[in-house]
Each structure stands twice: as structure tokens, then as C-alpha cells.
Structure 1
Amino acid sequence: MHSSRHRLIGLPALALLLTAVGCSSGDDTVSAAVPSPDAKVTGLCRDLDEVLPARVGGESRADPEPASALTAGWGDDPAIILRCGVIRPPKMVSPEVAEGRDADAVPGGVEGVDWLMEKRDGGGYRFTTANRQGYVEVTVPSGVDSSGVLIDLASAIRRTVPWQEGYTAP
């Protein structure tokens, strides 16, 4: 009798779980992990969110879930995703990247914003700002013009995420 009691309690929970999974499986909402930066960088990211363009790479803004001022998106799944306040990528300080010996990660600049470009498994690229007081990551799916995306975002990043202290802009 004790085991049937557990079975009855477990059935409603299982039904609720299946209902939740069923509802979300047909949902076209894109999701993105929300970073957890310190208060200073969070403020910079909120400022960035307020000036991000409505269109990037020819796509309209469609923010990912959960809603946050630290994330933004454009287009459908796969979408262009921006996450502000991410941790510094390990490859950013790699001597192989700095010396051009890592073909999967390349430093460079676009419209006054320095980026680390990393090829992603399955196609597309991840770009992370360098030499700024907060790290901004942009993932661009394969088939999307990455340079156009970075050009579209450059002005907003330059205005809201200052250079690191002690860094002299080129």
C-alpha cells in the first residue's frame, strides 16, 4: 500500500512534466544563457542594451529567453545572439592566437572594436570583444555575413563599453 501511495503522487508530477515538455518542444523561442558579471559591467551591458540596433545582419531584433538586458538576438533559430558580460575566453590570452598559429581563433578589429573570432563546431562563429571593460560575445550562425553583423553592432559597443583602463586605442 505504501508503494501505491508514491505511485499516485508521482503520476501528477509526471503528467505536469510531460505537459511542460510538450508545450516547449513546439516553441520557436531561442534561448541564451544569461551571464553574471559584476555590478559595473552589468551597468555597461544595460547601457548597451538600450542602444542596440533594431536590425543586425538584415534580421529584426528577437530577444532570446529568458528576457534579460544582458542578452539580445536577431532573427530566427539559428539566431544571431549577443551576450554581454561574459567571462574572458581562454583563447584571448593564448600565445598561439596572438602569433597567428591557431586557425580556429583569430584576433582582429572591425569599425573600432577589437574582436577574437572563434570557429564553432557545426559552423558559424563566436566573436568576443577585446580590450574593453566588459566582454561582449556575439554568435553568428553559418550562412550569415559576420562582417555585416559586427559592423552593425560596432557603434553601440563603442559608445557604451569603454576601453580597458590603460589600453590605448589604435
Structure 2
Amino acid sequence: MKLLLDENVPLPMARIVRLLLKHHVVEHVAELSGWAGTRDVDLYARAAADGFQVVVTNDTKQLSRPLEVVAIAESGLHRIEYRQNHKHGGLVGLGAAIATVCAGLPHALAELDQADSQRLISLNAVDPSQQSRLRIVDPASAPPKFWPTDSQG
């Protein structure tokens, strides 16, 4: 399958997705000559004409813009979106976005392999909050089993 990563997808994501999806062609808009800055209403037709089957984006507002919805529908391309929560910027935001895409994209592509017509897929976001991503243990107050203590010495 040939996937196009929209311009709003961080470029490092393209490298990681290529590593994971070795049997697919993965291109990023920023890496294609003359594609950077292409408006979304034009991007879908251009991508379809260039043989892409899927557009991956984190522009979750596309489906609320009438001209973009028409462009997506007329292209016949599958559309996969993921949310990148911008309040979690920097490494945390990028990490959460990469985790979301890496965890969900293989399942999405498996579904698309079976699809008989166009599909719109939203990947469920990985929660990047500290309380969701970490379990912290203070062995002084809650030692794990077999943790050495001063009374053993």
C-alpha cells in the first residue's frame, strides 16, 4: 500500500513508520518535490493521481470543513487521522503521537486490506500524562518482594 503523510505529521514520524511498514511505500509531503504547502482541498486529488491509497494526517478538523470533506470523498482515498495533543508539546507530544500511530496503524492497514470501499479511520490516542505513562515506586516505603532491607543486614 502507498501512504502519504500529510504536512502536519512530524517528519520524524515518517522515518519511524517506514521502519515499521517495510512492505509499504511511505512518503511525507515535505519530502516530495513541489508538494510542500499544497492545500488540503488539492492534496487529496493530487495524491490519488500519484497512486497513493492512504493519507495519514493529524488535522482532526478536516472533516468539519465542507470543501475538504468533498475533496476527501471525491479522491476515494482512505484517510487515517490521529490526534496529537498540542498541550503536550516537545518530546512528550511527539512520543505520544508516535506511540499512537505505531500502535494503531498496523491494525488500520489490516482493516484497509479487507475494505471494499473508502474508509475514514481515527486512531485512538495514547495518553501521554505522567500518571498514565509511569508507575513510580519508592522502595523505602513500598519495597518490592525480595528488596533488601536494613533489618536483613
TM-score over 0.5 (shorter chain):
no
Q: Which structure has the highest helix share of the two?
A: 2
Q: TM-score by structure 2 length?
A: 0.30
Higher strand share: 1
